[in-house]
Amino acid sequence: MRRLAFVFAAFVVAGALASSAAAQVHEVVPGIWLLRGTFTPGHQPDGNTIVFDGTDGLIVVDTGRHVAHTQAILDFAKQRNRPIAAVVNSHWHLDHIGGNAMIRDAYPNVHVYASNALNGALTGFLANYKKQLQGVIPETQDADQRTAYESEVHLIDLGTKLAPDVVITSSGPRTIAGRTLRVGLETNSVTAGDVWLFDESRSVLVSGDLITLPAPFLDTACPSRWGESLDRLAALDFDLVIPGHGAPMTRKQFTAYQSAYHALVSCAASTNEKQRCIDDWTAAIRPLSDADEKFTRSLMGYYVDVLRSDAAKARCAG
């Protein structure tokens, strides 16, 4: 089978939808909840969803990819008897924006906040991904896998229904649904526009895919600028960080991730053998990740190649 644009397609599209086991929302600190996304072999991933309690309603950070994940968000809002007043998308990857249309259908007055990076992705990366999907769908015999590919095409075709109506163009404090948060914008890092949120009242940072486990998802990234973004996050006075994928981290665990990322980029830029880079990363993040180690190593084998590719270098040249 030909390799698709997203590493997720290369590694995990096997057809089945995300497990409903992910649909467990728990309170991280008072007024902030987490719905863990899934990222396991045989499934397309959902990113983490974070929910803030705002005075005007709930603030949902990232809406997942699969219907089951987004439905869990809607069920939580119903359980809380509060409307979803705002959605904040950390970036345009489908596992973080795929539920936007469902939430808009349920709450027509919701405001969606994000950078404008989806515009470029729809005519570039996602357009290419859709073309590749359309090429493999006719030759895919497994019905579940074919359904998964078709679901990806459907999400891409939603287009502007996934896009923000409030575009974030700069960093600074912002009141969203009555709750004041520090909003950060990183450009040309993991994607062309990555949004993070810092709740100073709770000392909680929501990083989006600026932090991902069990691997850094480098498919659309400029690796060096990603490292610079991590260094800027380190300057914030947070006690807890909730990543785009993986479990919440303490400050000490974040520092370990930051060091592991810089070491990985340095290793890939050196003459070290690929296996050395894989081994070093796997050892460094082992205390941080609950993912299967074999899966982690398979991902890192791919991502070391990405780091050493001309495409990654080109993304840093723009």
Q: Which domain holds residue 218?
A: 7-250
130-139 pLDDT per residue, tens: 999 999 999 9
| 278 domain residue, yes or no | no
Task: Please report whether residue 299 resides in a domain.
Answer: no
Residue 71 in any domain: the answer is yes
Residue ranges of alpha helices (H) inside 159-292 are 223-234, 251-269, 274-285
Q: Please indicate, yes or no, if residue 156 is contained in any of the structural domains.
A: yes
Listed residue (69, 77, 120, 75) closest to 96, CA to CA: 69
Q: 140-149 pLDDT, tens per residue?
A: 999 999 999 9
The candidate with the shortest Cα–Cα distance to 176, out of 232, 114, 233, 238, is 114
| pLDDT tens digits, 211-262 | 999 999 999 999 999 999 999 999 999 999 999 999 999 999 999 999 999 9
Give strand pairing partners of 86. 59, 111
The confidence score (pLDDT) of residue 14 equals 34
* Three-class HEC string of 275-297: HHHHHHHHHHHCCCCCCCHHHHH
What value does the CA radius of gyration of the chain take, rounded to a whole number of Å?
A: 18
Q: Both ends of the chain: CA-CA distance in Å?
A: 31
The verdict on residue 40 lying in a domain is yes
Quick check: 9 pLDDT over 70?
Answer: no
Please compute the mean of the pLDDT values over residues 185-202 and round it to a whole number: 98
In a domain, 293, yes or no: no
Write out the two tokens for 265.
Answer: 């980029």
Q: Does residue 255 form part of some domain?
A: no
Per-residue burial over 205-232, b if 16 or more Cβ lie within 10 Å, else e, is: bbbbbbbbbbbbbbbbbbbbbbbebbee
- Residue pLDDT, tens place only, 26-56: 999 999 999 999 887 767 899 999 999 999 9
What is the pLDDT at residue 318? 65
Structural domains in the chain (count)? 1
> Is 95 inside any structural domain?
yes
CATH code assigned at 87: 3.60.15.10
